[in-house]
Amino acid sequence: MGRKRKGVPIHGWLNINKPLGMTSSQVVGAVRRITGAEKAGHGGTLDPLASGVLPIALGEATKTVSYVMDGRKTYGFRVRWGAATTTDDREGPVVETSELRPDTAAIEALLPDFTGEIDQVPPAFSAIKVDGERAYDLARDGEEVQLASRRVKVERLSLAGQPDADCADFEVECGKGTYVRSLGRDMGRRLGCLGHIEILTRLRVGRFTLENAISLDSLEALAQSAPPNAAPQQWMGPHLLPVETALDDIPALLLSETEAHRLRHGQTVPLLRKADRARIDGLEQVGSDGIAFAMTGTTPVAIVLLEGGQLHPVRVLNL
């Protein structure tokens, strides 16, 4: 029999402002230590070099992590021109230099080429698996890593400022799988001056924004100032966001208690009556893939799939 997980059952999301120097996994560990949560996970890796929005799922919210990871993200980043590094950021050693520096006109003229659907080769130091091993492990061992180009989507890319001739600040809104380090590297090469990421901040992930994020220090301070024996849900207050926060981009479907009972027990729910037509029509208009978020009253029940006139439970939420 498996060992029982220790901790407090807490369900929801924390929008953490990740500090520099920590891995995403270390942040998850810190949140579990501070809150005492029995289960936690993060909604999209940030490198130690990066700071900003890191959504942390607690309890049943971990079943919705993929919807956060698939969502649109916004980053602010600074590119330092004149040097290419092994890691495509300031952490790695310099492997090539250039004396050229781009002017504002050259940078702005380049931006449309990196907007829309573009092909991008991920950094060698990335978590992509190559023959079963992480690319960054192979790269650290000195092996040459050849990663295939992939198609990613950049919704928006803008020049936000130029602190000096050596640097430029940008803001990008992009989809799943986009590497900002690759973006900085490729822009530098196209401009003929080389470049790497010096500063990287995630500003938004879906509904999670930097303005509403809480630091680990502030979370710890809340825990330490909480009354004795206070439940974490009490002292976290509005910082503990509902499980459904991650499901903002998929349609909601209201169920009866009887229908919810069936889903909670892994059974399908038929929606074949005329009275069900309005619910199905609304679902089909919003979500063409048939995926919906089922609720009864204000309580989340399950992520479901509408197929063949029936609702099939995809992930049941035990709340």
Condensed to tens digits (0 to 9), the pLDDT of residues 70-88 reads: 889 999 999 999 999 988 9
Q: pTM, whole model, 2 decimals?
A: 0.87
Q: Among 34-38, 119-123, 220-224, 241-245, which is the least confidently predicted range?
A: 119-123
Task: Give the mean model confidence (pLDDT) for residues 102-119.
Answer: 97
Pick the CATH number of 250-316 from 3.40.50.980, 3.30.1330.10, 1.10.1200.10, 2.30.130.10: 2.30.130.10
Residue 41 pLDDT exceeds 80: yes
Residue 138 pLDDT exceeds 60: no
Task: Give the mean model confidence (pLDDT) for residues 225-229.
Answer: 90
Nearest by Cα to 241 from 211, 208, 193: 208
Condensed to tens digits (0 to 9), the pLDDT of residues 12-29 reads: 999 999 999 999 999 999
Nearest by Cα to 68 from 254, 214, 197, 202: 202
Determine the CATH number of domain 73-198.
Answer: 3.30.2350.10
- Extents of the domains making up the chain: 12-70+208-245, 73-198, 250-316
Phi, psi dihedrals of residue 135, rounded to the nearest 5° = -60, -40
Active site residues: 47
Burial class (CB within 10 angstroms; exposed 0-12, middle 13-18, buried 19+) of 127:
exposed
Determine the CATH number of domain 12-70+208-245.
Answer: 3.30.2350.10
Residue 69 pLDDT exceeds 90: no
3-state SS class at 181: helix
